[in-house]
Structure 1
């Protein structure tokens, strides 16, 4: 039977997802994070799913784009990236992205973050129409499961009093003992074999102690530390020297390619980034200066799954490692990450994922992580199914919000706990 793969409808559903009080150098995660669920529906009723950031600036691009997709075919993915999407430059002016600490925000990254969700939805629909998994559309998997790393955070037991939030039972983690206890629970629940600590929260000596405690508790396990550019070059080199024997890599210790190049020149500890190399234009300087040894891709702002493969090929050409960055996301994004990761031959570092921290999802069944790995689905498309009741409930939360949570700002909740809090300038130390 010949399928009609013309796009007949595009549904955009903004939602607010519960997020625990995880700390980073800019503050504490808001109690709810905006995400956008994209559904591309073909003329014969096949629905493809995508997911991306849901802040207002992304919705402002997604809505006119949705209208322009009607009548196109879900197989015409290349042409998506030729569409001229107008961005209000005042929305991205000056810009270090507050919500995800994803490096300098640009109009092009905004466009790609929206187009990536549409690309994934189109690939999902294609796979369902052809009876093929997305990884087959990307050239085929080279591994049957993708390894993920435990993503550890300093955190409060709860959000500040007076802030509406969903409770959890993880408790506080504000010192080395709390970090180790969190890691033990992650290992018990999911079998993770590597651990990444989000740093830049406390003075470096305290975070060095936490990594040392992890190394003692989990000997031989790969460890990473990510202060999101919160340190000076001198501090970065000090930490690298003190943790050289236990770190798999140090992620974005200093902000920007010039500073990272200085750090790289002074240490043998590999440096990873999801902040100074977030676009193809940033690759030349970073690679030429040997500023980074591992790039952490993110299909959302790199422009989708095939661009992720392109990035991986460039990294392989220049002898730079590749893995994956993660921000707060749900199962659609995790399924997309897993499919594309399964196709990258040189993926030698476990990928990041916030997913274990997310108590809510829009899928009928959560993706299972066993032995620190997620199995690559061979079902058609992404291999996931939307739960419309869950989607509707999370959209109601968004619709009923007064607008204060529709744009992620990790400093906002911090100001409730500490009136007068100002997002720290970098380097902090």
Structure 2
């Protein structure tokens, strides 16, 4: 899967050569991940990603980033074999080829924190991965940024939200961790969460704050939100327990936090549960778990289950599909935000191009970037954990300005890619498993939801 040879750069503009795919390189990588806690358990010491390079006859190469667990890599490889001969402007052809190449497969989610598994959703993840690379190649060939190919920028910079986590100071013994603990330390109570938020705001300037909840009894998390409100009276607040509360518990939390939250994300499981909560609170409910594909939308709208949908080009089917989702949200008066996974710089900049071209994406986007050891690091930092050349992406006042240059506007750091591929080869992690890692501390942990 890993190809150490870099493609020869092609002309950036006005090429007469065809932009036909000749080959695809998929490089699995592993990046160090802190012991962040959530409803399912605890992040493992390593998170898996894959870097996609779509090579064309003209020498232009489009890049993208996807999940990197074994089932995803298998499906990406099947689709990649069907892409030679594809014109990168033929996105409909990409969809047909990728979907048709998968044959029979077991529907699979790389994490249960993005809702139920489905065949359509699995196909969308694979199509979306290659579609971003096609857009990057299109932009490089035409000399235009991806945002222009998506309709043009409606905003000069994209707002992001601080993503706060309860966390341990270090990974538990036996977790296969061979690196020093991160310097964030533990955050296991309201004071710890406020301190974490203060560092996020001081370092990156984030204007809104989101707490990953569903970890401790709800009344403790209510107190954490209240502590954040006292410390940051003007910052919009969100909490996301990943459907780890029952309907009665959700209604209790909603009553306690009325007037405190920008929105309450996925408090209860499923569209029926969310609809019951929505009927009992004036707080807007958001989701990236019960509405994660187009087939979910009719029931959710009919029941009034959600008021904000968190898009994600990784599992909605790419950039075009995400814009289609934006149009549906506008039609039905739903708000639009954006979900984050443990992404690196290629996914981060793809999110930013999409958000910059989407008028009704008005909520600040989620991002895990401060938790990945590559963000804000320099090329000579030994623990550099990203695959793009450092310094390209920076947050200013909580916002990300699109980089200059055609396509996505970022380039692969070949040394970093090789190092993170070697880390993948030796780390032993091959799929995300928050439950097993949590059992190193709590042997009887099941991850079953709702727990409260």
**Superposed pair shares fold, TM > 0.5:** yes
SS in 2 for 1:35: strand
SS in 1 for 2:168: coil
The equivalent of 1:86 in structure 2 is 102
TM-fit CA distance, 1:396: 1.0
1:362 pairs, out of 363, 384, 387, with 387
Q: Distance in 1 between matches of 2:242 and 2:111?
A: 12
1:412 pairs, out of 436, 439, 443, with 436
Q: Distance in 2 between matches of 1:125 and 1:235?
A: 48
Counting only pairs closer than 5 Å after superposition, residues 201-350 of structure 1 correspond to structure 2 as 201-350=215-364
1:12 pairs, out of 18, 26, 39, with 26
Q: Distance in 1 between matches of 2:150 and 2:118?
A: 28
Q: Distance in 2 between matches of 1:59 and 1:87?
A: 15
TM-fit CA distance, 1:89: 4.4
Q: Distance in 2 between matches of 1:65 and 1:59?
A: 10
For residues 335-378 of structure 1, the C-alpha deviation after alignment (integer angstroms, 9 at most, x for no partner) is 00000000111122101011111011101125211100000234
Q: Distance in 2 between matches of 1:171 and 1:380?
A: 39
| Alpha carbons 1:261, 1:290 under 8 Å: kept | yes
Question: Normalization by structure 1: what TM-score?
Answer: 0.96
For residues 216-271 of structure 1, the C-alpha deviation after alignment (integer angstroms, 9 at most, x for no partner) is 00002100000000011111111011101110000000010000000000000000
TM-fit CA distance, 1:90: 4.1
| 1:380 and 2:403 aligned | no
SS in 2 for 1:228: coil
Q: Distance in 2 between matches of 1:106 and 1:409?
A: 19
| Alpha carbons 1:365, 1:385 under 8 Å: kept | no
The equivalent of 1:29 in structure 2 is 43
SS in 2 for 1:27: coil
| 1:179 and 2:193 aligned | yes
Counting only pairs closer than 5 Å after superposition, residues 69-218 of structure 1 correspond to structure 2 as 69-83=83-97, 84-86=100-102, 89-90=105-106, 92=108, 97=109, 99=111, 101-165=113-177, 166=179, 167-218=181-232
Q: Distance in 1 between matches of 2:110 and 2:424?
A: 20
| Alpha carbons 2:54, 2:63 under 8 Å: kept | yes
| Alpha carbons 1:85, 1:111 under 8 Å: kept | no
Seen in structure 2, the aligned counterparts of structure 1 residues 222 and 258 have a Cα distance that, compared at 3 Å, is same
Q: Distance in 2 between matches of 1:255 and 1:351?
A: 23
Seen in structure 2, the aligned counterparts of structure 1 residues 336 and 153 have a Cα distance that, compared at 3 Å, is same
Q: Distance in 2 between matches of 1:87 and 1:237?
A: 44
> Cα RMSD between the aligned structures?
1.3
Q: Distance in 1 between matches of 2:449 and 2:176?
A: 30
The equivalent of 2:450 in structure 1 is 427
Q: Distance in 1 between matches of 2:176 and 2:93?
A: 43
Q: Give the stretch that moved more between structures: 143-152 or 75-84.
A: 75-84
| Alpha carbons 1:113, 1:301 under 8 Å: kept | yes
The equivalent of 2:366 in structure 1 is 352
TM-fit CA distance, 1:421: 2.2
Q: Distance in 1 between matches of 2:446 and 2:333?
A: 40
Q: Distance in 1 between matches of 2:107 and 2:130?
A: 22
Question: Normalization by structure 2: what TM-score?
Answer: 0.91
- For structure 2, list consecutive stretches of 5 or more residues without a partner in the other structure: 1-14, 374-384
Q: Give the stretch that moved more between structures: 57-66 or 129-138.
A: 57-66
SS in 2 for 1:14: strand
The equivalent of 1:399 in structure 2 is 425
SS in 2 for 1:82: helix
SS in 2 for 1:197: strand
Seen in structure 2, the aligned counterparts of structure 1 residues 121 and 98 have a Cα distance that, compared at 3 Å, is closer
Q: Distance in 1 between matches of 2:73 and 2:19?
A: 25
| Alpha carbons 2:110, 2:431 under 8 Å: kept | no
The equivalent of 2:382 in structure 1 is none
TM-fit CA distance, 1:91: 5.4
TM-fit CA distance, 1:86: 2.8
- For structure 1, list consecutive stretches of 5 or more residues without a partner in the other structure: none
